Amino acid sequence: MTYSEKMAFRVRKALARRTDVVELKMFGGLGFMVGGHMCCGVIREDLMVRVGRERFEDALAERHARPMDFTGMPLTGFVYVAPAGCRTDAALRAWVRRGTSFVATLPVKKRKKRKPRPRKKR
């Protein structure tokens, strides 16, 4: 699965002033971790935003937002936003702010050191 490089660039720009952002390939797209927590991401052409359970229904009331249903079952607290819902930079920043506002309520995670994976022999 691929993701929109253009949308990823725009999300990077929206998060550029932060020093606690880590990008990870996940969900078949690109995820942006803030403070060690999934904040938002890009899957295909859509923006994915973690809004939390308490603000989930409010987010769904917005035009162009729908539940994140990556596995066929909606993930409460996460929404997909169609490209039309974040066409302007201001609209994109507003959605990204929803994600960063939610993860700011969570305790900061320390990044775990990963064990090196053994190389496959050829």
Write out pLDDT tens, residues 21-39: 999 998 789 999 999 999 9
Whether 109 shows a pLDDT value over 90: the answer reads no
Q: Which amino acid is at 113?
A: K
φ, ψ for residue 64, nearest 5 deg: 75, 5
Q: Quickly name the fold that domain 5-103 has.
A: Aspartate Aminotransferase, domain 1 (3.90.1150)
The set of residues, in sequence order, having a beta carbon less than 8 Å from that of 89 and lying 6+ positions away, is: 10, 13, 14
Q: How far apart are CA 23 and CA 7, in angstroms?
A: 14
Selection from 36, 5, 30 nearest residue 18 by Cα: 36
Q: What is the pLDDT of residues 41-99, one digit of tens each?
A: 999 999 999 999 999 999 999 999 999 987 788 888 999 999 999 999 999 999 999 99
Q: For residue 108, is pLDDT > 80?
A: no
The lowest-confidence range among 1-10, 51-60, 107-116 is 107-116
Q: Select from 95, 14, 20, 115 the least CA-distant residue to 51.
A: 95
